[in-house]
Structures are given as C-alpha cells and as structure tokens.
Chains A and B, each alone.
Chain A
Amino acid sequence: MMRTLNATVMATAFLLVPVSAFAAEEVSVLELVETAAELAGEEVAVKGELVGDYGFRDDGWMWTQLNGDAYVHEPIREGGLPGGGNTGIGVRMPIDLGEGLDPPGGYRRRGPVVLLSGTWKYHDPERQGESYLEVESLVVIEPGRTLPEKADWMAVTIGVLLIGAAAITWLFRPGE
C-alpha cells in the first residue's frame, strides 16, 4: 500500500516538473563541487536532500543546503553505513518556492528529496564571491520523513552501573 502511494506521489511529482527542469543539464552535487568552475553560469538540474535550516531572509530569498551523497537514500539512522563526509552545496530560492516544504534534514529527520533546476553561480561577484545554486524551479521527489531512533538500553545500563560503582567507591573507601 505504502509502495503504491510512494509511486503515485513520485509519478505525480514528475508530471508536475516544469519544462525548464528538463531543459537544464542534470548533474550530481559531486560534479558541481568537483567541476564548480567549469559549470559556472550554466543552467543545471540537481537532485538531493535539503538539510540544515531554511533561512528566510528579508530580501525575498530562502537559503538552505542541498546534499547529494549516499546518506540521502541510506541514512545512518536506518542502517546506512558511514562512508565519509557529506557532499553539499548552498542553494537559494525565492521564498514562495521554499514555503510549504517539509522540514530540512537533520538528526532523526530525512529532509525532502528534491530536483532543483537553476543557475550555478560560481563565486558570484554580486554576492562577494559566494558559490551557490540559484533555484528557478523545484520538484519534490520524496517528501521528508522522520527517521527511527531507539534508546541504547545496553549503553544506559553500563553507564548507570559504572556511575554507581564510582559512587560506591567514593563513599566507601577500601579498608574503612
């Protein structure tokens, strides 16, 4: 049932993708990071997870970060293996485009996976040399979701025992 629902959501999402999103060349976040200078000023489409914060600024832009690494599809909290640092880029979009998005990814939260299309601004002179993707259109491919978290009862037990042992040792000195 869940799978059918997901498939329907994804199919609907792709049907709603603006033409500009398909016109732009699709690149990965890693490609953008590694060939940042070569892609300067290009129209690109990038897929990934929105993470961190949504910064709604007074100038009408919303800033956030787009990650395109293995953790997008295999979060560590769901058994994904640690395989290195994140691969992310800064993105900015008009506030109305960013409003209504699911909360960004963080602990216990996989952010929305989106397809962003826009212009790659490499050391943009208008932003005093910042690099970022200026988003023109956004398609939600997968909504954000909560990741499972369980207390580590084994660690809690060991910790409490150790603290208890320390307290007893402190109170009752050997030989006293």
Chain B
Amino acid sequence: MLIRPVADDFRVIAFYLGRIFLVVAGAGLLPLTWAAIAREWHPVGSFLVMIGLFAILGVAGIRFAPSESTLNWSHGMVVVAFTWLIVPVIGAVPLLLSGHFGRPLDALFDAVSGLTTTGLSLLSDVDHLASSLNFWRHLLQFLGGQGIILAALSIFAGTGGITLYFGEARDERILPSVTSTARFIWAVSVVHLLFGVTALGLVGWLVLGFDIDRAVFHGLMTFFAGFDTGGFSPQSTSIGYYHSAIFEGVTSVLMVAGAMSFGLHYSLWRGPRRAVFANLETRTILSTFGFTMVLTLLGLAATGVFASVAGLTRHGFFQILSAHTGTGFSTVSSVELAQWGGLGFGGMALAMALGGMGSSTAGGVKSLRIGLTIKTVVNQIRQVLLPEHAVVGTAYRQSGRKHLTPNLTQSVMTISLLYVALYLLGAGIGLAYGIPLQEALFESVSASANVGLSVGVTDPSMPILLELVYMLQMWAGRLEFVAVFSLLGFLYAWALGK
C-alpha cells in the first residue's frame, strides 16, 4: 500500500532544506561583497534580494518546521531533489535582474546550467557582464560541482547526512564519517584552488600580459569552471580567448583533477599510488579517452581543418579532454564545432556521453559504469564460450578487490540505460523542431551529461519546450536519477497514497 506522507515528513524535509538554504544565503554574501568592492552598484540590490529570499526560506524551514524526526532515505532524496530545484530558481534572481536575459526562463536556464556544472548558456553579451555577476555564475558552478549538500554537510553535522550525501550522486564514502569526507573534499578543492588560481593568474599576468587584477580574475573564473567541470567563461570566446597553449595546459590539469573521483584524489594524496592504476575506473577512463581522442583526431585529420600536426593535436586534445571530463571549454567557435562532422564530431559526442569518474564533479554515464558494463558483457561471452560448468571470475579492482554481483550489474545497467534514454529524449524533441539529427543529438548529450559544449542549438531564440527539456536533462543527469525518481515517488504518494 502506498503511504501518504504526513505532516512530520514535510517538517523534516523543510527543516533540512532550511539549513541548506541558510548555507547558500551565506555563499551569496561573497558576490555581494565582490560587487561592493568592485563598486558595481546595480547588482548589489539583486544579490540582496537573493540572499533575503534564501535567508527567509531557510529561517522559515528551521523555525516553523522544527523537527526531532530522523531523516530517512526517502526524506534525504526529496531534500536533495528539492534543493537542486529551488536553489537555481532563487539563484537566478541576480541573473534575471542584470538585464542580460530576454525572458525569466532563460535566467533560470543559466542558473540550472551553472549549478549542474553544465555550462550551456543563454546569457546575452557576457563580454559586458558585471564581474560580480560573472563571479556568481562561476561560484554556482563551484557550489554545484562540490555539491551544495556537501557544503552544508561540511558546516553542520547530524543525522541523515549519509542519505543527503548519497542523494547528491556520490557513491563512495572516503573517510569513516560523512562530515569528515565532506571536509576532505573541500580540502582537496581548496588546494586545487590555490594552485589553479596562482598558476593561471601568473600565466595571465606574466605570459599573456594582462593587468594583475584581471589576470587573477580570469584565473579564478577559469578555476571554478575548470575544476568543477562547469565550462562557463568570463569571455564569449571561452578558452580560445587566451590564445595560449600554456593557459590551456594549466586548464587541462584542472579539468582532469575535476573529473577524477575524490576517492582517487585520496589515494593519490595518502594511499599507495600504484593501486590507483589498478582501479577498473582509472583503466576504463584512460582507455575511453584514448579511443575517443584517436577517433576525433582521425576525423579532424580527414577533414583537413588543421594544416599542422601541432594544431591538430593541440586543439583536438583540448576539445576531447573538455568533452570527456564534461567541462565544456572550447578553443574553437560553436559554428566551427558544428562543421567538424564525421568521426571528429562522433568522437566528441561519444566522449561527452561517457563522462568522467564517479563521485567527481563530472557528468555522463561515468567510467566505473562503463567499465562494469564492459566487464559484464565480456563475462557473458566467456560464459558462453567456456564449458557449461566453468566459473567465470567476477572480481575487479576499485579501491580494493570487489565482486560484480547481480544487484550491482542491474544497478549499473539501469542507470546507464536511463542516461541513453535521456540523451535520446532531448535529441527527439530537437528533431521534432527541425534541428538536424547530428546537432540535436550533440546538444542533447551535452545537456544530459552536464558538458556544455554547443553547436549553436542553445540560443535565446530556442523553443521554450526544448529549453525546458534541456533543463530537465541537466537536473536529472546531475543527480543521476535516483533523487529525481524519489521526488516523483514522494509526490505520487502524497497525491494518491492512503
């Protein structure tokens, strides 16, 4: 029998949502301070409204719905799903009031894209956007990449943390407690922040010849979008703006770091480093990266777009790395990307669909699932070829020796198939609007896998339904479906339960 949620269920959800909103309100103080220091007075009001809305919702959740109840699995998933719906709505307020969006839905689209670390954008005239608003867009990617819930968990410990942690599409607990795991993830991020901003800032200042404040600004924005595999950029020409192989090199390091699981970061920091390369996930991502890069480079070489091997490898490598890590940076225009065609285009789309590692800031199906799927298929084939009573080994290495159980196989297959369905959904809607198959599929995969590379379909003149579908894809893709289905189930039970 379907049990209808009672008042206590709503109270506990509101209570935890309230805590999270207060954390986001606190994060909103950063762009507000930035705007005040930069004397950008117009955005100041919009940041105040946003902070006020988060604060009042946060306080209301805690004050009006005090709850002694424990957060169960279902509550946690609903909290996560609601968080990722409501935060973009309120976070879009400064974007909307900036005047850089034609319709409110477009501002929401950018907030969803930012928070889910996708990087598709409907923002008009980014080259004249206030630096504080640029900071807010990029901070949204940082919050989304790290996980808003994770941010909250780092600040307040308590019961239910584990549910919230897993609800945000993280499937490994690195340290014994969730709070210490959350703090470790933040420590990794802060170290990369210091390294990334310093390195990029120095390149900007000493090599590119920017003023030092602008060099630091570009370094910070590129760090946020690179390490969190978001892909927003403070300039309209993305990383191509910098015309620098060194800048691209440092950015590539950040993208790789962002696409690595935090468990792998832990192993690299504290564990035996050799074990890292024994992991199924590491081997899988290295293989798929190599495969898609060869595909793309062969495709580009065949088209003759690049006259030199150096140009072909530099741009091919950067684009495919950006696609595979789910970042979405580019050094070529979307017009040119759309003209690539053939193997080059296919390699890029495949890399986007596969995605980075699990428990990282990247999107897509994820390498561990790809590795386990391949292992399952190989085992099936071996089982058929070997004598009837032969036992096929199911062990694999992933932070230790593990076994491929039927339950795990089912879970992996289900999520992988859901991703394929999500890719096809957006492509189908795009086709219905007359967008060519290749472009419709590319853009749909880009949205679902939270990549952000575009061939020009994402545009302020795009149909509203397609815009809504892309937003749904970004949301469901980021949360890896479980929290989304839990929310739908909760609402269904509320409507029809007894």
Indicate if the CB atoms of A76 and B128 lie closer than 8 Å.
Answer: yes
Q: Quick one: closest B residue to A92, CB to CB?
A: B243
Chain A min CB distance to B217 (Å):
9
Q: Quick one: closest A residue to B40, CB to CB?
A: A107
Give the docked Cα–Cα distance between A159 and B214 (Å): 30
Q: List CB contacts (< 8 Å) of B270-323 with chain A.
A: 305-308, 310-312, 314-315
Secondary structure of the B contact surface, majority rule: helix
Q: List CB contacts (< 8 Å) of A33-92 with chain B.
A: 33-34, 36-37, 51-58, 62-63, 65, 67, 69, 71, 75-77, 80-90, 92
Chain B min CB distance to A14 (Å):
26
Indicate if the CB atoms of B41 and A150 lie closer than 8 Å.
Answer: yes
Chain B min CB distance to A127 (Å):
7
Indicate if the CB atoms of A85 and B126 lie closer than 8 Å.
Answer: yes
Indicate if the CB atoms of A156 and B48 lie closer than 8 Å.
Answer: yes
Among A58, A92, A166, A173, the one with the most B-chain Cβ atoms within 10 Å of its Cβ is: A166
Indicate if the CB atoms of B102 and A81 lie closer than 8 Å.
Answer: yes
| Interfacial chain B residues near A57, Cβ < 8 Å | 207-209
Indicate if the CB atoms of B127 and A82 lie closer than 8 Å.
Answer: no
B101 interface contact, C-beta 8 A: yes
Known contacts A36-B336, A123-B306; decide if A88 and B127 are in contact (CB<8 Å).
yes
**1/0 contact trace for A95-106 toward B, CB 8 Å?**
000000000011
Indicate if the CB atoms of A128 and B245 lie closer than 8 Å.
Answer: yes
Indicate if the CB atoms of B237 and A90 lie closer than 8 Å.
Answer: yes
Indicate if the CB atoms of B52 and A166 lie closer than 8 Å.
Answer: yes
B388 interface contact, C-beta 8 A: no
| Interfacial chain A residues near B335, Cβ < 8 Å | 33-34, 36
B interface residues, tally (CB under 8 Å)? 67
| Interfacial chain A residues near B306, Cβ < 8 Å | 123, 129
Give the docked Cα–Cα distance between A80 and B127 (Å): 14
| Interfacial chain B residues near A80, Cβ < 8 Å | 125
A interface residues, tally (CB under 8 Å)? 71
| Interfacial chain B residues near A166, Cβ < 8 Å | 52, 55-56, 58-59
Chain B min CB distance to A42 (Å):
15
Give the docked Cα–Cα distance between A172 and B179 (Å): 30
Using CB atoms and an 8 Å cutoff, list the residues of chain A in contact with chain B: 33-34, 36-37, 51-58, 62-63, 65, 67, 69, 71, 75-77, 80-90, 92, 105-110, 123-125, 127-132, 147, 149-163, 165-167, 169-170, 173-174
* A-B residue pairs, 9 tightest by C-beta: A129-B311, A159-B48, A162-B52, A155-B45, A82-B124, A125-B308, A166-B55, A86-B236, A152-B45
